[in-house]
């Protein structure tokens, strides 16, 4: 994953700096959501979406992709999503357990991303994108029916993702490949 080309090391900080802007924007997003500053909230959310698109593009374009950058990007996404949904929970738009679902999905990602073989999860792959869309939809259409649909979609996608990862892990276990995959991940942590 660490594909920093020679001569590009001096630009390696740029994608991470763009990602850091998303993390820095999270408390501002919480503030604007908390105090119903609609236009500011929407502009700030669009800015964070732009940084999410830009950091990966810059890393590939500059040839400075790294494992740290990938984890930092996923963590920044999680911080932003959790911040927005925390504000929605404070406003009574979504129930508290929504935060537990989102947090459990991030924990599942962190725990399984260290495996040598990537987990096949066609649903989880798009989970983060869906959560960004859910934030945008909630900001634009905070209607009960829309928010209820978003909530049920989060629940359904979470269940589908957990099932798909479990089926994949079960197939690895049945083929005897799960133990070797876990041992490889442990060996990589030691090395």
Residue 109 pLDDT grade (very low, low, confident, very high; cuts 50, 70, 90): confident
CATH code: domain 3-111+124-155 is 1.20.120.1760
**Residue 181, pLDDT score:** 57
Q: Residue 191 pLDDT more than 50? A: no
How far is it, in rounded angstroms, from Cα 148 to Cα 161?
20
CB of 109 closer than 8 Å to CB of 74: yes
**Residue 187, pLDDT score:** 45
Region 103-120 average pLDDT: 73
0.85 surpassed by pTM = no
Comparing 43-52, 81-90, 123-132, the range with the smallest average pLDDT is 123-132
Q: How many CB atoms are closer than 10 A to CB 188?
A: 11
What tokens does 98 get? Answer: 């929504």
Question: Domain boundaries in the chain?
Answer: 3-111+124-155
């Amino acid at each position: 994953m660490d594909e920093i080309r020679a001569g590009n090391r001096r630009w390696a900080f740029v994608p991470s700096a763009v990602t850091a802007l998303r993390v820095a924007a999270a408390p501002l997003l919480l503030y604007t959501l908390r105090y119903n500053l609609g236009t500011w909230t929407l502009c700030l959310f669009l800015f964070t979406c732009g940084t999410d698109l830009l950091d990966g593009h810059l890393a590939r374009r500059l040839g400075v992709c790294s494992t740290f950058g990938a984890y930092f990007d996923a963590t920044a996404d999680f911080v932003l999503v959790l911040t927005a949904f925390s504000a929605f929970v404070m406003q009574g738009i979504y129930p508290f357990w929504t935060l537990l679902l989102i947090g459990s999905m991030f924990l599942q990602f962190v725990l399984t991303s260290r495996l040598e073989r990537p987990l096949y999860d066609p649903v989880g792959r798009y989970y983060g994108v869906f959560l960004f869309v859910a934030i945008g939809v909630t900001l634009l259409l905070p209607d009960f029916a829309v928010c209820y649909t978003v909530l049920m979609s989060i629940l359904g996608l979470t269940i589908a993702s957990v099932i798909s990862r479990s089926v994949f892990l079960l197939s690895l276990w049945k083929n005897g490949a799960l133990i070797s995959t876990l041992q490889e991940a442990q060996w990589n942590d030691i090395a």
